[in-house]
Amino acid sequence: MPELPDVETFKQYLDHTALHHTIDKVSVEAPEMLGELSTRAFQRRLTGHTLERSRRHGKYLFAGLEDGDWLVFHFGMTGALKYLEGEEQAPRYTRILLSFKDGSRLAYVNTRKLGKVVMTDDVDEFLHQHDLGPDALQLDLEQFRSQARAHRGSVKTWLMNQEILAGIGNIYSDEILFQAHLHPEHKVESLSDQEIKTLYRKMHEVLDKTIAVHADPSAMPRRYLIPHRKKGEHCPVCKTPITQFKISGRSGYYCPQCQPS
DNA sequence: CTCCATGTTTAGAA
DNA sequence: CTTCTAAACATGGA
């Protein structure tokens, strides 16, 4: 799930549920998700503190405490948040569970444990340490164009490079390229100014529209590729069979009719 | 059993 | 130095 629109949806969810709650207890079911940070240090930095604000950058979600410290969520491929009230049971694969003073809880759920949950006292430094470029919704057309001019290789790979712009992954890069009528293996260095502009506009449009439906594929516009992004499916626009291809070990999908090379 | 899956990192080859 | 590929991480679902 978690690319920019999914993580933005998690942010809004967190804002509407766990924010302004004081942490009473921290259960770490999967200590390996904390990386180098010890369970004790993690618990010490959270217990007794209050979640006061949140920030998202690319695929990362930051929850700020009243003391200036930050809880950092990264979701890998299968991570999500679930807020629990009353006797509601924590879902299967809950890896971290924050319990609040009022009895409600926030579960960090992650089937495959590919993400991370850590702490940082400086978000900007954290972003720098992780080589993250500007958030995909923050950079302007000028930066977008000059980054395109500074790289070689396929446009899909370029869009997914978190050092260039943060937030776009395998699924949403396919959607953006589909909406922009660009073949995923089109060389980024050979994009015209006009194509770059279209790509930039479509990137915003796709991110905005998918955030508006909380990244739910079943609620996305009719002419979106994402709900048809599997083998044997057909293009929602022209009905041509969708092509699957491999790009550095991952599967990409496109319509050979709407996105000619 | 096999292959595939939304992410990131790393090693090695061009 | 840049770019690309495969593999690894951990775990399920088809």
Q: What's the pLDDT at A75?
A: 97
Query: Does strand C come within 7 Å of the CB of A251?
Result: no
Instruction: Determine the distance between A230 (CA) and B1 (C1') in angstroms.
Output: 23
CA dist A63 and A54 (Å) reads 4
| Phi, psi torsion values for A214, nearest 5 degrees | 55, 35
Closest to A52 in 3D by CA, of A38, A63, A37, A40: A63
CA dist A81 and A142 (Å) reads 35
Instruction: Determine the distance between A118 (CA) and B9 (C1') in angstroms.
Output: 17
Query: Does strand C come within 7 Å of the CB of A112?
Result: yes
pLDDT in tens, A118-162: 999 999 999 999 999 999 999 999 999 999 999 999 999 999 999
Q: What's the pLDDT at A231?
A: 87
Please compute the mean of the pLDDT values over residues A57-81 and round it to a whole number. Answer: 97
**Nearest nucleotide by C1' from A131 CA?**
B8
CA dist A183 and A60 (Å) reads 28
pLDDT in tens, A183-241: 999 999 999 999 999 999 999 999 999 999 999 999 999 999 999 999 889 999 999 99
pLDDT in tens, A30-51: 999 999 999 999 999 999 999 9
SS3 (DSSP) at A234: strand
Q: What's the pLDDT at A248?
A: 76
- Listed in sequence order, the residues at least 6 apart from A55 whose beta carbon sits closer than 8 Å to its beta carbon are A11, A61, A62, A64, A70, A123
| Phi, psi torsion values for A136, nearest 5 degrees | -55, -30
pLDDT in tens, A74-125: 999 999 999 999 999 999 999 999 999 999 999 999 999 999 999 999 999 9
Put simply, whether the predicted model's pTM sits higher than 0.85 gets the answer yes
* Rg, Å, chain A Cα set: 20
